[in-house]
Structure 1
């Protein structure tokens, strides 16, 4: 009689051993997919690059740098853009989290026999799956994808704006250097006249009251030079900050290529702003994400439902098993609050997109009108400047020949220089308007981004 009992016990032991091995394998597989923690300590010190050669993508043979080279270095080295890459990683991580299937729920309990007629340990076991989470899975995945793509489009727009800022700084620095060079010429001749006037006043040959306008002209020229130099230093430091350089690093810049603005081409590109500009694409993706969230909220108004299987054994070894269903009665909460918030948010994004689309076209038209005005002013000033330069050249020849006094020569020379500076200021303003228009219409951006965007 002992042999069968021993055989039965060995079978139970083998069954328990196989169950333990299966549980251990499942736990091992689950632990293998778990993430691990690795510390990332903060540095005690950090500093910007101290020379151009330390920048990523820099080639020493390209000096001086043209606008395209500067923009490329900004893209590769700008500290804010490099930091913004973390937002892309976070958005992709959130997308993965919002796209995973809900885990099934497993439960169980053990009831040890403490007293009574039973002869076995009672137990219960169950497994269930949230059906409501499966119903809303598709719109939640769509919302997560659109939200992640929205972040990428926003980062692309941030890069484009940073490039636009770098372009404006290059324009200001290059054109500012031209103005400084001319202002230095005016200051030199004014200082020469000022020195002779001061010498004659000291000798009593001239009354200071009569030559005060000449002395004031020299002081005004110094003040104008100081303003130009302060502005240049500020722009230089802004450019080095965009490049991730220390403020005292000098960035040599090449002269700018000039071309007339094609207004018809700008108007044509403005017609595709909704698919060209990353900020418009980001708004569309944000709207799509919110629309999917609204559909998920509508689907979630139905009662939360879980379906599974329950099994149990009592102390007398009676076993039961069968399907199990649980759901909430939608008496008070039918998800109406979340639906209302999602619908209102979608309406807000819709209105924001429509407003941005309308104002972007208005901004383009406004800048085109300003550029046309600047161009007309430049055309009107060009012949006047040419005449002033020719008159200054003749005056210099006459002064050197002793046919014209120094005061008259300097007045004509400074007047010509001031007109040239005014011409450069108009050219700088036109270049800045061109850069602003290229930024607004997304010139240089792809005609359509990778995302499948459908305007609302």
Structure 2
């Protein structure tokens, strides 16, 4: 008898081990993910991830900077991981609920029975099956919302990269004018200081030059401070160490700017703007959650079957049902919450849509104003330059006093700097506008999935 039992036990043990190994092989395993101990900043430009196999050589264009920012921005890298979270939530929502297994073994302690009692039951919650499709659709819409939010963040990073790189290029170009103004006034002031020391001129004569020189020095210092701050902002955007120097091109390259096409495209802007798409996907998810809350008003129902044996070896079996009685909780609270959430998202989308269209229209009008002011300033510049040249000649011939000479020369530099300020403001508006409409920027891929 024992000889027959032992092989059977070994076979049962092996079968149990195989089942257990198969079950464990399908389970996830823990792996440590330690936090960084040093700031993950690239020490050199070459250490950055390249968006294409052929890295750019020489000075980087604005387009190169945008590509590097999209590939290396630390906040973008973290935001893109949200897609994996949303994908996992969608996968979980698409998983059918597990049935429940119950059982009990009741050894005989006393009484007239002869064997231990036992019972086994298997049940399935039907309510979770009822809300399965709405939960799956809501999770899928939420995943698409996350994807659109990530693309919208990519638009913001690309816009910042364009603006910072463009401002740096324009600032480096305009510095020559600021430096020339300062050097001219510094040279003139040095001569006047020597003349003042020799008592050939009075302090009243030197004072205007000192004031103009101080203003030119302050303007040059302010420009240098701004350039350094922009360089640090660019490094932070690219994930570079603050002391890394990023070589930039001498010209700003941006996508073609067509105000008429932008106005025409306002009708389709809600279909292209990632933030509006994200809000629309969020609203769709909230709408499914309203359906889910309404369906959840039905009572919980668990159907199954059970088999039991009492202490006298009498075996019974049959179907079982468990039904909750909706006396107190009819899910009315969740219905109210989901309906209010959907209403809020409805209002949020309407407000964002109005703001998006209104902002684009307002910026187009601002650009028209700046263009008109720039054209007027450019018309006045030749006269200011000619007046400065004549003033210099007249002053050299002692036909113009010191104050008149300084005023006319300073007016020329002020006109040039006003033009550069207007050009920069117009360029910044263009970059902001192209970011808002997505010119040359990634698009949202929402995809389609069967419900």
TM-score normalised to structure 1 length: 0.90
> How do 1:54-133 and structure 2 match up within 5 A?
54-57=47-50, 61-133=56-128
Q: Which is further off, 177-186 or 191-200?
A: 177-186
Matched residues in 2 for 1:452 and 1:425: separation? 48
Other-structure match for 1:35:
28
Say which SS state the counterpart of residue 125 (structure 1) adopts.
strand
Matched residues in 1 for 2:168 and 2:257: separation? 21
Other-structure match for 1:358:
354
Residues 101 and 137, structure 1, Cα contact 8 Å, conserved in 2: yes
Q: CA deviation at 1:163?
A: 0.9
Query: Are residues 439 and 43 of structure 1, via their aligned partners in 2, closer, same or farther at CA, if it must alter by over 3 Å?
Result: closer
Give yes or no for the alignment of 1:295 onto 2:288.
Answer: no
Other-structure match for 2:43:
50
* 1:262-309 alpha-carbon deviations (Å, 9 max, x no partner): 221111222212110111110011011111111111111100111111
Matched residues in 2 for 1:140 and 1:277: separation? 26
Q: CA deviation at 1:170?
A: 1.4
Matched residues in 2 for 1:110 and 1:212: separation? 106
Give yes or no for the alignment of 1:176 onto 2:157.
Answer: no
TM-score normalised to structure 2 length: 0.91
Residues 178 and 424, structure 1, Cα contact 8 Å, conserved in 2: no
Q: Which is further off, 175-184 or 444-453?
A: 444-453
Q: Aligned pairs, how many? A: 445
Q: Work out which of the residue numbers 190, 194, 200 in structure 2 matches 1:195.
A: 190
Q: CA deviation at 1:422?
A: 1.2
Q: CA deviation at 1:51?
A: 1.8
Q: CA deviation at 1:230?
A: 0.8
Q: CA deviation at 1:314?
A: 1.1
Q: CA deviation at 1:88?
A: 1.8
Matched residues in 1 for 2:255 and 2:310: separation? 90
Q: CA deviation at 1:30?
A: 2.4
Matched residues in 2 for 1:445 and 1:259: separation? 10
Other-structure match for 2:158:
163
Q: Work out which of the residue numbers 381, 401, 408 in structure 1 matches 2:377.
A: 381
Q: CA deviation at 1:11?
A: 9.2
Residues 277 and 445, structure 1, Cα contact 8 Å, conserved in 2: no
> How do 1:164-313 and structure 2 match up within 5 A?
164-254=159-249, 255-257=251-253, 261-313=257-309
Q: CA deviation at 1:96?
A: 1.8
Q: CA deviation at 1:395?
A: 5.5
Other-structure match for 2:332:
336
Other-structure match for 1:3:
none
Query: Are residues 56 and 397 of structure 1, via their aligned partners in 2, closer, same or farther at CA, if it must alter by over 3 Å?
Result: farther
Residues 69 and 158, structure 2, Cα contact 8 Å, conserved in 1: yes
Matched residues in 1 for 2:217 and 2:183: separation? 10
Q: Work out which of the residue numbers 312, 315, 324 in structure 1 matches 2:311.
A: 315
* 1:113-163 alpha-carbon deviations (Å, 9 max, x no partner): 233333322110001011100110110011111111111111111111011
Residues 286 and 338, structure 2, Cα contact 8 Å, conserved in 1: yes
Query: Are residues 47 and 12 of structure 1, via their aligned partners in 2, closer, same or farther at CA, if it must alter by over 3 Å?
Result: closer
Give yes or no for the alignment of 1:143 onto 2:138.
Answer: yes
Residues 299 and 323, structure 2, Cα contact 8 Å, conserved in 1: yes
> How do 1:1-20 and structure 2 match up within 5 A?
none
Query: Are residues 188 and 437 of structure 1, via their aligned partners in 2, closer, same or farther at CA, if it must alter by over 3 Å?
Result: same
Matched residues in 1 for 2:279 and 2:82: separation? 17
* 1:311-350 alpha-carbon deviations (Å, 9 max, x no partner): 0111211111111110101111111100110010000000
Gaps of 5+ in 2: none
Matched residues in 2 for 1:36 and 1:260: separation? 52
Other-structure match for 2:366:
370
Residues 193 and 410, structure 1, Cα contact 8 Å, conserved in 2: no
Matched residues in 1 for 2:93 and 2:55: separation? 47
* 1:394-414 alpha-carbon deviations (Å, 9 max, x no partner): 5567778x5877956665444
Gaps of 5+ in 1: 1-5
